[in-house]
Amino acid sequence: VLTHELLQLGASLPVVHAPELIAMDEPVSHALRRRESSLHVAANLVVDGDAHAVVSCGNSGAIMGVAMHSWGVQSGIDRPAFGGNLPSRHGSVFVLDIGANATVKASNLIQFAVMGDVFVHLSRGLDQPRIALLSNGSEDSKGTKEVKEANQALRKLDLNFVGNIEGNHVFEGMVDVVVCDGFSGNVLLKGGEGVAQEILDLLRTELSRDLVSKLAAAALMPAFARVKRRVDYEEYGGAPVLGVNEVMINCHGRSRAKAVTNGILLADRMARSHLVERIGQALQHDDVEVRRRTRRLARALHLRHGDA
Decide if residue 170 touches a copy of itself (CB under 8 A).
yes
Question: Rule CB under 8 A: which of 236-295 touch a copy of itself?
Answer: none
Q: DSSP class of residue 95? A: E
Decide if residue 168 touches a copy of itself (CB under 8 A).
yes
Only segment of 46-54, 108-116, 134-142, 263-271 that touches a copy of itself (CB under 8 A): 134-142
Identified binder of a copy of itself from the candidate list 20, 166, 268, 287, rule CB under 8 A: 166
Only segment of 1-9, 70-78, 216-224, 248-256 that touches a copy of itself (CB under 8 A): 216-224
Exposed/middle/buried for 208, CB within 10 Å: 0-12, 13-18, 19+? exposed
Decide if residue 197 touches a copy of itself (CB under 8 A).
yes
Please tell me the distance from the alpha carbon of residue 36 to that of residue 19, in angstroms, as a whole number: 6
Decide if residue 201 touches a copy of itself (CB under 8 A).
yes
Three-class secondary structure of residue 13 per DSSP: coil
Only segment of 29-37, 199-207, 235-243, 265-273 that touches a copy of itself (CB under 8 A): 199-207
What counts of helices (H) and strands (E) characterise the chain?
11, 8
Please tell me the distance from the alpha carbon of residue 78 to that of residue 306, in angstroms, as a whole number: 13
Instruction: Give the number of other CB atoms < 10 A from CB of residue 63.
Output: 26
Only segment of 33-41, 50-58, 117-125, 191-199 that touches a copy of itself (CB under 8 A): 191-199
Please tell me the distance from the alpha carbon of residue 145 to that of residue 213, in angstroms, as a whole number: 51
CB of 182 to a copy of itself, least distance (A): 6
Identified binder of a copy of itself from the candidate list 7, 16, 216, 300, rule CB under 8 A: 216
| Type of residue found at 266 | L
Please tell me the distance from the alpha carbon of residue 2 to that of residue 8, in angstroms, as a whole number: 10
Question: Rule CB under 8 A: which of 57-116 touch a copy of itself?
Answer: 87-89, 99, 102-103
Contact 119, 159 (CB under 8 A): no
Question: Between residues 86 and 122, which has the closer beta carbon with respect to a copy of itself?
Answer: 86
